[in-house]
Amino acid sequence: MASEQAAEFLDKLKRHSERMMAVSQLPLTDQRIVAEGLQAMTSTPDGVTFRDAGVDGLSGIWVEVSKESDSDTTEAILYLHGGGFAYGTPVGYRNFAGHIARSSGVPVLIARYRLAPENPFPAGLNDALAAYEGLLSLGYKSTQIALVGDSAGAGLVLSTLLTLRDRGSDLPAAAVLMSPWSDLQATGKSMTSNAGVDLMASAEGMRALGSMYAPGQEGDPIASPVNGDYRGLCPLFIQVGGHETLLDDSTRVRDNAVAAGVPVQLEVFPEMQHVFQLGGGTFPEADDAIAKAGDYLRDVFAEHEGAGQ
């Protein structure tokens, strides 16, 4: 059974979803303002600092662990935020990225990428690729970088990995996918089986966002990475809530990875909603998920460091 604190967070999530429905016919600029309220549910973590990544020639925000809180590190996390490819900002995701930085002990770059419908696929993907190349240009080795994302951002992580692989580029050490949206066509069985319990995502809504992001290309294996060939990808770590309509987006990504011989871990959190991790600092299930993701990243980086990579 979900904790009492989780129930309180899920009640807030329900009210947020209702507010989004209430403004669904307003201009997208107004919808985006309301959408930022989701990230406001994340608590402010201690021991992290925020700075504009522009000084490093990057577009986004650096979230760094204070030196008093952790030792210096030579690794970096590239974070791609969620929001259906149409919503979300690095500023809105600062606190959540702060929890990731605290858990992993690694600085996080929240990349700014262009949103649909003004900038449809592959504009956001190109920005994600540029952010990764930007980290390499700063001197990070590929094995010192991990990609992390939630929802649409996690789908974009997969799109980025597939494109890097196809280009013959060096892949990052690993990727963490939180409730990945990997199927723009919303064909998973959980779209129906969990329709009565998911507070955030409906098949109709996801298909509309998918068409906005990649009009006429919704089934493309890069835009919809559930359709991709995963051979040669880096290890994947996936988390998803048991009540998500997008549950099958995660299980099918896991199945694709297994079929391709890619190391993969999947954990389904019972009764949890889409991107429940955004409740970091407010209820134990979210904190547990963030801690597990951080432990995974620490282990991956330590393994590469031990191998001299």
Domains of the chain: 4-306 (3.40.50.1820)
Checking if the pLDDT of 133 tops 60, the result is: yes
Average pLDDT over residues 214-221: 99
pLDDT at 305: 83
Q: Provide the percentage of residues in the chain whose pLDDT is more than 70.
A: 98
Q: Indicate the pLDDT class of residue 73, thresholds 50, 70 and 90.
A: confident
Choosing from 16, 81, 243, 274, which is the catalytic residue? 274
pLDDT at 55: 82
Average pLDDT over residues 208-224: 99
| Contact between 201 and 182 (Cβ < 8 Å) | no
Tally Cβ neighbours within 10 Å of residue 91.
14
Q: Could you give the CA distance from residue 80 to residue 100 in angstroms, rounded to a whole number?
A: 12
Choosing from 244, 250, 285, 304, which is the catalytic residue? 244
Checking if the pLDDT of 69 tops 60, the result is: no
Q: Could you give the CA distance from residue 82 to residue 124 in angstroms, rounded to a whole number?
A: 12
Q: Could you give the CA distance from residue 65 to residue 108 in angstroms, rounded to a whole number?
A: 9
Q: Indicate the pLDDT class of residue 72, thresholds 50, 70 and 90.
A: low
Average pLDDT over residues 218-237: 99
Checking if the pLDDT of 19 tops 70, the result is: yes
Confidence (pTM): 0.96
Choosing from 151, 159, 190, 224, which is the catalytic residue? 151
Checking if the pLDDT of 28 tops 50, the result is: yes
The string of pLDDT tens digits covering residues 186-213 is 999 999 999 999 999 999 999 999 999 9
Is 304 designated active site? no
Phi, psi at 174, each rounded to 5°: -170, 175
Is 250 designated active site? no
Q: Could you give the CA distance from residue 97 to residue 9 in angstroms, rounded to a whole number?
A: 19
The string of pLDDT tens digits covering residues 167-193 is 999 999 999 999 999 999 999 999 999
Give the chain's mean pLDDT. Answer: 96
Average pLDDT over residues 286-295: 99
Is 64 designated active site? no
| Contact between 139 and 129 (Cβ < 8 Å) | no
pLDDT at 45: 96
Give burial (CB, 10 Å; 0-12/13-18/19+) of 46: exposed
